[in-house]
Chains A and B, each alone.
Chain A
Amino acid sequence: MAKIDTVRLKELANKYAIMMVLAGLVILIGIIQSTFLSVDNLGNILRISSVRVIIALGVGGILITRGTDLSAGRTVGLCACIAASLMQRPDYASKMFPDLPYLPLIVPILAAIGVGCLVGLFNGLIVAFLKVPPFITTLGTMVIVYGACSLYVDRPPRGAMPIGGLREDFTSLGTGSWGPFPKLIVIAAVVLFLYWVMLNWTRLGKNLYAIGGNPDAATVSGVSVKKNLILVYILGGISYGLAGVLLAARSGGATNNYGLMYELDAIAAAVIGGVSTAGGIGTVSGMLTGVLIFQVLDNGLVILGVSPYWQQIAKGAIIVAAVAIDIRKYIAKK
C-alpha cells in the first residue's frame, strides 16, 4: 500500500510540478517581502499577466502544431498602434488623423483584430501551402510587420512620435473595472475559457494536437492539415490583435516599438507551462501558469530590490529549470 502511495504521489508531483513551482515562488517571495502579497500588488501582477496570457495562448496553440510564431510581438505592436490611432481624443493636439470622426469603441477593436487576423492568415497560408518552416515564415513576417507598423506611425508632419491622448472610454478597457472586477482580468478570463473550450471540446482543438503529435497520422485519418494550420495561425493573429488593443488601452498610448520581444516571453511562458516545442502537448492551465511564473518573478525580483541585471539571469535560469522539471513526466514514460 505504502509503495503505491509514493508512486501516485510522484505522479501527482510530476503532473503539478509547475504549479507547485509557482506556489513556491509566491510563498518564498511573500515571506521575504510581505508587501509582495498585498492585494494591490497581486492585482497588478494579474493585470499585466492578462495581456501576456492572451499572447501566450495564441503562440501556444501554434506551438502545439509543431509551429512557432516569432511575429507575435510585432503584430501586437502594430495592432496597438492601429487601435490607438483611431482612439485619440478629438481635442488632442497632434492627432494622427486630424479629420477622424468620433468612432464607436468597437471600431478600433475590430480594426486591430482584423489586422491581426490578416497577419495570421498570411503566416498560415505560407506555412500550409508553401511549406516554409514556421520559424522562417514568422521570422520574415516579424520583420515585415515592424516595417509596416513604422510606415503607418512615422508620417509627416508628425514623425515617429508616440500615439498619445487616447480617449478615456478606450483606456478604461485597460484600467477600469466592471464592478469589483478589473476589465482586463475579465477579458483575459473569457479568452482563457474560449481557448480551453477550443482545445478540449472542438474538432479544431483535437486536430491541432493530432497534427502536432503526428502529422502523417492526421493526414491519413482524413484531417485537413492545411486548413487546421491556417486556422491556428489566424486564431493566433486574432489573439495578438486583442492583446494589442488591451496593451494600448492599459498604457494609454502606443509606439512602433511596442511588442518588442513579446513573442519570446510568450514562447518561454508557454514552454514553462509544459507546452512542447516538439508539438502535440500543451494545456491552457499550463500556459496560464507559465505566464504567472514569469510575471511573479518579474514583479517579485523588483520588490526584493534585485538588480535588473541579476533579474535577467534569474529569469533565464528559471526558463531552463522549469522545463527541466516539467519534462520529467515525459522522460519517465520512455
Chain B
Amino acid sequence: MTQEGSVLEMRGISKSFPGVKALDDVSLTVRKGSVHALMGENGAGKSTLMKCLFGIYRPDGGEIVLDGKTVAFRDARQALDHGISMIHQELHPIPYRSVMENLWLGRYPVRSFGILRLIDRKRMLRETRTLFQELQIDLDPEKWVIDLSVSKVQSMEIARAVSYRAKVIIMDEPTSSLTGHEVERLFGIIRKLRAEGVAIIYISHKMEEILAIADEVTIMRDGKLVGTYPSAELTTDVIIKRMVGRDLTNRFPPRETPYRGATPGEAPGETVLRVERLTSAENTSFRDVSFDLRKGEILGVGGLVGAKRSELMESLFGLRGLKSGKIWIRNREITIGSPIAAKRQRMALLTEDRRQTGIFPVLSVFDNTLIANLSHYLRWSVLLDRKKSAGDVTRSIDMLRVKTPSPDVLIENLSGGNQQKVIVARWLLTNPDILILDEPTRGIDVGAKYEIYTIIADLAKRGKSIIMISSEMPELLGMSDRIMVMCEGRVTGILDAKEATQERIMTLATQFM
C-alpha cells in the first residue's frame, strides 16, 4: 500500500553499527516530482539513511518501497538499475582519467565485434556533449579530472547523477564547492527535473538553500525521525530548533574587542602581522595582497571557492612559494620558507581539509594533540616525557571540552567537531600568537559550531590574533572584527564588521566575475 503520488517510501528503517544505533525506526516518504530536503546535524543519520537506500549499507530492519514494490538493494549497481542515482557527499572522481570516462564509469557504451566488446568512444563523447549542453555545463569531456577545480568536479558529479535518468536522485551536499552562479544553475536543473516528475532528496546544511528549493523537509536527530514538514511552514530558526532539539538563541558568542564592545573608541591593538603586496609563485594564484592583523583581533576572510584564500594562507605558513612581497611579524621583516619557520614565528594553521591534512586518523587523540609540539616534551633530548605531556594533553582536552572516552582513543572515532577541537588543542600547545583557521567549522554540526566559536572568541580575548577563512556569511559577520574579501586572487576590500553586510561582501567577492 503506497501513499498517493509517492515514488519512494522507507518505512521503519533501523541500522546499527558496533556500539551505535545509527538509525532507529526512521520513515521517509518522497513524492513524485518534488524536492524533499533531509536535514539534521552531522551524525543525525542522514547519510546512513541514504546509503541504506542506495545499497551501500543493508538496513537491519524496515522496508523500502519503490514504485509500489518492496526492494532491497545489495549494491550500488542494483540501486542504479532501479532508477536511483546519487551525488555523494565526498566527491568521488578518478583523478587521472578524463571527464567522460568518469561520467560513464560502470556503464560504458560498447560495440560488439563478435565476442569482443569494445568501448564506443565516439558515442561516449557525443552523449557527454549533449548532456553538458542540456545542463549548460561548460566542461571539456576529454580533460583529465585532476586538472579541474573542485567546483567543476562537483558539476561533473551533478551531470553524472542526472545522466542516469533516474526516478529518484539523492543529492548529498551538492553545493559544498559551488560558486553562487553554479548553485543557481543547479537549482535550474533541479526545477526542470522536478517538472519532469523526478523526485529529489536534497541534503544540505545551508538553510537558505533548503528554504529556496525544497517542497518538504524531513528533519532527523540522533538517528531518529523528528518529523516531515512542508517547507513553507518553516523558518531557519524553527529548523535549527528541531535539528538541535533546543532553542539556539545565540548562534554566536558575545564578543568584547577593541572593535566592538563595552568601550567604543578605544585604540586598536598593536599590529602583529603585516603583509605587503604578496604575490604567489604560482601563476594563477593570488597577487598584490596587503593587509594587517592586530593583537586580539579576528580577521575574517571571505570570498568564493577559487578566490585563493587558502593558497594565500598556506603561503604565509610556508607551504607554498611566494614570488614577491614583504611580511612583517611584530615589526620585524621576515621570510617564511617552511612550516617550521612559521611555527618559529609563533604561527599556527588549521587547514581546510581536516581529513586530508588535519587529523592522523589511526593515531590516538593523545598523539594527535602532541604531534606539532613533540620537541617540548623531551627528556635527555631524545626520549618523550610521557608524564609531562600527559598532563598537558589532559588539560587542553578538558579546556576545549573534547568529548572522548580517553586520550588513547583513535581520533577517527570522534565526531567532526571533536576532531576539530583536538586540532585546535594541538596548535594551542605550540603557544601561537597568530592562528590561521581555514574553514574551522566545515562539516561540524550546529551545536559543536557554537563551541568552536566560543573557543575562537576566547582565544581572541586572551590576546591571540586570528585569521578565519569562512565561506559562511553568517559566520563571517557574526565572528569577525574586520572582514577581508578576496576575488580571483586579489583583495577587493577590507570591511569593518560594523559596516559589513551580506550584500556588500557578495559584491566584493564577485567584483571581477
Interface residues of A (CB under 8 A from B): 197, 200-203, 206-207, 209-210, 213-214, 216-224, 280-281, 330, 333
Contacts and interface: CB of A to CB of B under 8 A. Distances in A.
B101 A206 contact: yes
A281 B80 contact: no
A220 B96 contact: no
B181 interface: no
B105 A218 contact: yes
B105 A221 contact: yes
A203 B76 contact: no
Interface in B46-99: 54, 56, 75-77, 80-81, 86, 88, 90, 92-97
Interface stretch (B14-22, B106-114, B271-279, B309-317): B106-114
Contact of A206 (B86, B90, B119, B146): B119
B80 A213 contact: no
B117 interface: yes
B105 A217 contact: yes
Given A213-B95, A222-B75, A201 B105 contact: no
Contacts of A206: 97, 101, 105, 108, 119
Nearest to B95: A213
Contacts, number: 81
Contacts of B54: 220
A210 B119 contact: no
A333 B144 CA distance: 11
7 contacts: A202-B118, A206-B101, A220-B54, A222-B80, A222-B107, A280-B95, A333-B147
Contacts of A202: 110, 116-119
A203 B110 contact: yes
A-B pairs, 10 with minimum CB distance = A217-B92, A213-B94, A222-B77, A221-B106, A222-B106, A221-B105, A201-B118, A223-B106, A220-B76, A222-B80
Given A203-B110, A221-B105, A214 B93 contact: yes
A209 B119 contact: no
A213 B88 contact: no
A213 B76 contact: no
Interface residues of B, number: 29
A97 B501 CA distance: 91
A280 B96 contact: yes
Contacts of B105: 206-207, 210, 217-218, 221, 223
Given A221-B106, A222-B80, A203 B117 contact: yes
A217 B93 contact: yes
A197 B118 CA distance: 8
A202 B119 CA distance: 5
Contact of B95 (A201, A214, A220): A214
Contacts of A280: 94-97
Given A220-B92, A222-B75, A333-B147, 19 more contacts: A197-B118, A201-B119, A202-B110, A203-B108, A203-B110, A206-B97, A206-B101, A207-B105, A207-B106, A210-B105, A213-B94, A213-B95, A213-B97, A217-B94, A219-B56, A220-B54, A221-B106, A280-B96, A330-B96
B94 A214 contact: yes
Contacts of B94: 209-210, 213-214, 217-218, 280
B117 A209 contact: no
A211 to B, nearest CB: 9
